[in-house]
Amino acid sequence: MKENWSTMASLLGLLAFSQSLFQAIFPPELRFAALKLFTQIFRCFSSYVYLDITEIDGVNTNELYNAVQLYLSSSVSISGNRLSLTRAVNSSAITFGLANNDCIRDSFNGVTVQWEHIVSQRQAQGYLWRPLPEEKRGFTLRIKKQDKPLILDSYLDFVMDRAEEIRRKNQERRLFTNSRGGSLDSRGNPWESVPFKHPSTFDTLAMDPLRKQQIMEDLQDFAKGQSFYQQTGRAWKRGYLLYGPPGTGKSSMIAAMANFLGYDIYDLELTEVHNNSELRKLLMKTTSKSIIVIEDIDCSINLTDRKKKNPSSGSRSYFDLPDIRSGGGGYSSISGEKTGAGSITLSGLLNFTDGLWSCCGSERIFVFTTNHIEKLDSALLRSGRMDMHIFMSYCSFSALKILLKNYLNYSEDESDCTVLNEIKEVIDKAKTTPADVSELLIKNRRCKNRALAELLETLKSRAEQNGRELSKKEMGSEEEEEEQEKRTLDSPKEASEFEEDRSKETEEDDEKDDNNTTSE
């Protein structure tokens, strides 16, 4: 046993002597040059290429590193064995990431790549105006040499786009409104914002399913149509007009669109905008991937059809009007009320939606809502400004089934077919808005049978009321037609009597003239 220990000690001593001799003969510079040469020779015979993406490029943060980290979070959560969990500020989701010195494989267009997250300690730093983190982080991408053009030209761009999509999805959405009186905040921004927490989605929206599917497909085509809009030379924007009776879900539709696309909402209050210049500035301060909303536009400013002439203004039409919104400083030839010399004009609003200034951003949606579409000017409704007109109608039977599922968790399996068939027969005649139906279901949400019974009773009473009003209108129209026919029949008699009286008077005058001639 002693001999074994002595032999091992001799070997360790020989190894230490050899190491010191090697360091004395081969200085660090020579060893570094030899290692570099060996690495280059190895790379010449290797079929792989390695791309390093560091967290910090000099003193600036590398955006590509953050994009790769977000992109890998979508696949790491499924295939990774050791994960790092993070949650960024203003984020609504937890992000998965690669742990230190861990690897993951990814595929793109049939090409397999390998990502490795490398974390090492940074060497001692000198005096820096911006201290660097103690750990040096980065990703190493291993690819084959023949795949290098594809990776550099397409794959990295795909990673950036995918990361932006994930970032927008995880980021907290905001609801903006223009400041009162056009005031600016400390950063010179005219918009004020709050977190957007509206839970409305297309699944919970009370609307015909086929119509909802058409709207969702149109929104998807818009969001993915950047190359199409560039090829056709059109601005990357789209307009939607939501019109219909009050309580039919126009605001819920806007919230569902924002949640579906992950866009922010800019709720523009036109009564707080003083002139066209201020309107353009508000447009310039909006971001891409946003929905610009003007609700009840017919109530904000006067947008009546310009082709309709007002008798009080003579032959002057809307084309001659310099001011549309009432303010202070002049008088309107339409209403005779005082108007402002610096108010919003219809021309300014049209340029806002489809002019040169509407192209200062990209991927934006304009949504206007109104209860009376007939009051809006035809120039505002044309394609290019309001591309898609969506009629928000009264509650239909298909929309009612969605409301029953939302508020009562009602399924067709447990439903009473008799009651539903009766509701189906009267719901179109009742002309009830989804808001009224929702309120009735909320009130009776603890008892499904009572909710259906009261709903059926309410729909029947409204259907009967609408039927009576319709019959009154029909009777009134019939009476008007009868009176008109009577007037038409009576008018020839009056004309003939008038002609007879006129002829008698003419004959008497002729007789008098003859008598006078004879006497002479």
One domain, residues 112 and 206? no
As a whole number, mean pLDDT of residues 284-288 equals 88
Query: Which pLDDT score, from 0 to 100, does residue 62 have?
Result: 82
Q: Is the pLDDT of residue 407 over 80?
A: yes
Q: Is 398 in contact with 325 (CB distance < 8 Å)?
A: no
Q: Which of the four pLDDT bands, split at 50, 70 and 90, describes residue 325?
A: very low
Q: What are phi and psi of 84, to 5 degrees?
A: -115, 130
Q: Which of 458, 474, 490 is the last residue in one of the domains?
A: 474
For residue 292, being part of any structural domain is answered with yes
For residue 244, being part of any structural domain is answered with yes
One domain, residues 232 and 370? yes
pLDDT in tens, 201-232: 999 999 999 999 999 999 999 998 988 988 98
> Rounded to two decimals, what is the model's pTM?
0.68
With a CB cutoff of 8 Å and minimum separation 6, the contacts of 262 are 168, 169, 173, 289
The domain tally of the chain equals 3
With a CB cutoff of 8 Å and minimum separation 6, the contacts of 115 are 68, 72, 98, 103, 104, 105, 106, 139, 140, 141
Kindly write down the DSSP assignment for every residue of 406-434, as one continuous string: HHH---SSSS-HHHHHHHHHHHHHHT--H
In 3D space, the residue among 9, 7, 140, 131 whose CA is nearest the CA of residue 65 turns out to be 140
One domain, residues 424 and 387? no
One domain, residues 197 and 291? yes
Query: Which pLDDT score, from 0 to 100, does residue 308 have?
Result: 52
One domain, residues 146 and 294? no
For residue 265, being part of any structural domain is answered with yes
Q: Which amino acid is at 98?
A: L
As a whole number, mean pLDDT of residues 32-61 equals 76
Domain at 288, CATH number: 3.40.50.300
Query: Which pLDDT score, from 0 to 100, does residue 398 have?
Result: 92
One domain, residues 385 and 402? no
Question: What's the domain range around 363?
Answer: 175-305+344-391
For residue 313, being part of any structural domain is answered with no
One domain, residues 106 and 206? no
Q: Which amino acid is at 42?
A: F
For residue 324, being part of any structural domain is answered with no
Question: Of the segments 48-62, 72-86, 346-360, 449-463, which one has the largest average pLDDT value?
Answer: 449-463
Pairwise CA distance, residues 378 & 353, whole Å: 14
Angle, CA of 378, 225 and 287, to the nearest 5° = 75
